[in-house]
Amino acid sequence: MRGYFIIAALAIATASGATAADQQPICTDRPSKSTGECTVPTGSWQVETGLIDWTHDRSNGATTDFAVYGSSLVKYGISKNADLELGITPLEMMKVHGSGIDEHHSSFGDTLIRAKYRVTSMDAPVLLAIDPFVKLPTANHNLGNRKVEAGVVVATSAALGKSGLTLSLDPELDWVADADGAGHHAATQQVVNLGLAASDKVTLSTEIWARWDWDPSGTGKQASADGSVAYLVNNSVQIDAGVNFGLNRQTPDVEAYSGVSVRF
């Protein structure tokens, strides 16, 4: 499975190389948890794919490994400052063992429908975009809650002088299902991201992510410290990798991932 996605990504990258030199560099929401303010050029398609995303956690004597293969965000530019986006996940797999538990589950993932609107011009000192979304419950009951959910991200960033550093803040407000399935409640998350353009090809980033979930059964709190790297193969193709470390017991211990993004 992993080999298939890697071969496909390399084939796309090779095919895209001929026209990439005449375009502006691709701008993506990958690889960090931060959301970019840029949108896809009018009439263009862009596919941002996680080749593999692996999460590991050990708590209460049980070990959980969760793997996602081929999770993709397909984007289409509908104007100079707006695009429509469809998020699909072909395969999710979870294994839980220990403390008398031995479970294996797999499923197609939930589906996301997004619409990003960039409020400011790309040369503004502070960039701002609004990114509302709806989650459709297409995963099975073992890996999803079978409930429609929604939210909105307000993506902001500003360059810090001529240092090559960019500071991003991405507050998000979500409407999520109660744990008992009886209704919905509010949740929120925040990302504080510091990116560095290390060269014309390489971008590094580090961030702190936190989430508060006000479920009626009790408030959930998660936090992680993350790092990632992105490499611009050509103006239409980017590859990336990253790792996230949980900062409290409610957050998975470690998450590692890699991906590729292509604009057509």
What does the pLDDT read at residue 92?
Answer: 98
What does the pLDDT read at residue 60?
Answer: 87
Residues 33-54: what's their mean pLDDT?
97
For tokens 């004597």, name the residue. Answer: 61
Q: At 24, which amino acid appears?
A: Q
Residues 217-227: what's their mean pLDDT?
97
pLDDT in tens, 133-189: 999 999 999 999 999 999 999 999 999 998 999 999 999 999 999 999 999 999 999
Task: Tell me the two tokens of residue 148.
Answer: 């429609």
> Burial, 29: exposed, middle or buried (Cβ in 10 Å; 0-12, 13-18, 19+)?
buried
Q: Which of 8-17, 66-75, 138-147, 208-217 has the lowest mean pLDDT?
A: 8-17
pLDDT of 12 > 60? The answer is: no
Residue 142, Cα to own-chain centre: how many angstroms? 22
d(CA 169, CA 245): 19
pLDDT of 231 > 70? The answer is: yes
pLDDT of 198 > 80? The answer is: yes
Percentage of residues in the chain having pLDDT higher than 90:
88
d(CA 18, CA 14): 8
Distances (CA, A) of 90 to 10, 129, 246: 19, 28, 26
For tokens 């240092």, name the residue. Answer: 163
Q: Please give the torsion angle defined by the CA atoms of residues 131, 132, 137 and 142, in that order, rounded to the nearest 10 degrees.
A: 60
Provide the b/e sequence for 205-235 (b: ≥16 CB within 10 Å).
bebebbbebebeeeeeebbbebebbbebbbb
The H or E element spanning position 199 is: none
Residues 55-80: what's their mean pLDDT?
96
pLDDT of 22 > 80? The answer is: no
What does the pLDDT read at residue 18?
Answer: 43
The CATH superfamily of 2-263 is: monomeric porin ompg (2.40.160.40)
pLDDT in tens, 74-115: 999 999 999 999 999 999 999 999 988 999 999 999 999 999
What does the pLDDT read at residue 15?
Answer: 46
pLDDT of 13 > 60? The answer is: no
Average pLDDT, the chain: 93
